[in-house]
Structure 1
C-alpha cells in the first residue's frame, strides 16, 4: 500500500507539472486565432493598416472567415496512456482496475484540457462548394454580414471576388454591399464607374456555371469567387459546385453541402451531409447593417486594381481623393499659402467687396489675412 500511494503522488505531481504547459499552450492558441480571426467590432480599426488585404493566395487562411467563438481541439495534443502498459500480459485487467485513482485523474485532465473554450473559430470556404446560413432571424443575417466583412477586410479584390444575387438590390439590410471594392467589376464600367456585380437574376452567374466541379485543394487561377445568395437558393448551383466558387445562401437551404443554424440565444449549430446538427459556436458573430455600411464605405476609398496595390509586399496605397493629396501633401498643414515670402516684394490683397451687412470685409478675406500673417511669422528665419 505505501508503494501504491507513492506511485499515485508521483503521477499526480507529473500531471500538475503538465498542467502549466498545457495552460500556456491554450493561451497561445487563443491569442493566435484571436489575431487571425478578430472580433467583428475590431474590423473597422484594421482598415488602413498593414493587415488590410494581407492574405495572399498561398496563406493558410486564404478564403477563410470567422463565424464566432466556441470549443476548439487543443493544438497541443494530449494522448491517453496505453491500456495495460508494455509489461502487461494478455490477461491483464483494464487500466481503471489496475490503478483507479490515477485513471480517474487522467480522465479528468484530458476532459478539462483537451478542448479550448471560447476560442475564435474560422470557417474555410474552399472546403465546401455551398454553405447555408439559416436559423433565427435576424441572427442569421447578422452572422452572414460579419462573415462577408471579415473576407472584405483581409482579402484584396484581385484575389477574392464577391457576387450578389438578390431580389431587392435596395434592401436596407444589404444595400451596403455596393460599397465593397470586391463587388466592383475589374474591367466593365458604366456611367457611375465600375459595374457592381449585384444581380437580380442568375444570368449574372452564367460564366461560373461553365467551370469544372469544385476542388477544395486546388487554388483558382484568378480570384476566388464568393456568391452571396440572398434569394434562398435561386442561384441554382449543382451539388458538386464549381471550381473556385463557394455559394453562401441566406436561409435554411437543405441542398447546401454545409449548413449553419443560428439559434435564438446566439449559439449556432452546424451540419455536414448525412450527420446531425452539433454545436459549433457558443457565441455566433453578429454585425448590423449600419456597422457594415461604415466598414464598406471606408474600404471604398482604397484601390480595386493591382496597379496601385503592391503585390510583393501587400502594401496598399489609398487613392488621392482630398484636395491636399492632389497637390502632393499628406496633410493640410503642409500647404503654405504663396504669401509672406522671403523677398521684400509686397503682396496686395483686394478685399474691397462688401459683406452681407456692408459694414466690413467678408469673413473669407479676414481668414486670408490671418493666414498671411501667420505664414510670414513662420518665415522670419529666411
Structure 2
C-alpha cells in the first residue's frame, strides 16, 4: 500500500500535465501525411499540396513558405496566414573533442531543451528530448534536478531531428534514440505520434531498426506501447538488482517494482528478431559489486536481451562517482561469462556535459568534467 501512496503523485504529475496546445496557427510538423492532406482540403487547397509540403519540410528542410516556389503565391499566402512549418531556435551549439555536438534549443514559451548528435563509425546518432525536465526523480540523472516543466509537443521532437539534418547534411544522422531529457512514456501520445512521423516514408523516413525508446519502467505504458506495433528498439533503464537499491535510485520502482517490471518484459510480444536492451548505470560502491553482477545475471535469465553498462557520468552536485575501471571490467566479465551480451558504453561528450544523465537545458555548470583516460570521453 505504501508503495502506491509514495509514488502515486509522481506518476500523476507525469501523466496528467496539461497538453501544450497553442491557440495560434497549426504547426504542420505536428501532422501525419493524411492529416495534412485533410487539413489542406478543408481549407480549399488541392490535395497534392500536401505532398509538396512534405517534400519541402522533410527533404529540402525548408522553414518558410516563401522558399516553396512550386506552390502558387496565393496558396503560400493562405498557408502563411493559417499555419507554420514549425521551427525551434538554436540558442547554442557546443562541440566536444570526440565530435559530439550538443544543441541548446529555444522553445516558443522561453523554455529550453537539449539534443545531442553523437558520432559513430560511419554515421551519426541523435539523442532527442521528449520533455522539458523530468518528474521521475532518478538520483543519478541531472535532468531530474530540473523537475518537470512540460511535455514537448510532437513537432518539437520532429524538429530536433530536422535541425540536426540541417546542421549535418548528407543523410548522416541515421539513428534516433529517445534518451534525452524526460521520460518518453510519460508523454505518451505525443511521443507515439512523433515516432510514426519518424517512420513515415513521406516524413523523416527512418528505419524502425534505427529508432530506440528508453524508459525507466512505466509498466502500463510499456505494455501499451509495444501493443502499438511500432516495432522499434526498446531500452529499459534498470540500474539496480534489488528493490531496496532501485527504490532509492529510481523512485518509480516504488510503483512498479523490479519483479513486476521484469515479468512485464518477459511477457512483451516482441518480434522474433528483437530483444530488450537493459541499461545499467554503474555507480561506485552502490550497484557495482560482483554480487550485483551475479544477481543481474539471475534476474535476466531467459530474457532475450542485452545489457548496456554505462559508467556514471558526473555532474555538479551528483553524490555518485563512476567505479574504477578494473571494477567495471570485472562486472562486465561476470555478465559475459554467463553468455550475456554486455558492452560498456563509454559515453561521448562528457566534457561538454552532453553524456547520458548530464543534460540540464543549459543550466550553469561549474568546474571541468573529467574524461576517462584511454577511452572516448
Q: TM-score range by the shorter chain?
A: under 0.3
The TM-score, its normalising length taken from structure 1, stands at 0.24
The structure whose RCO (Cα within 8 Å, separation 6+) is larger is 1
Query: Which entry has the higher C-alpha Rg, 1 or 2?
Result: 1
Larger helix share, 1 or 2: 2
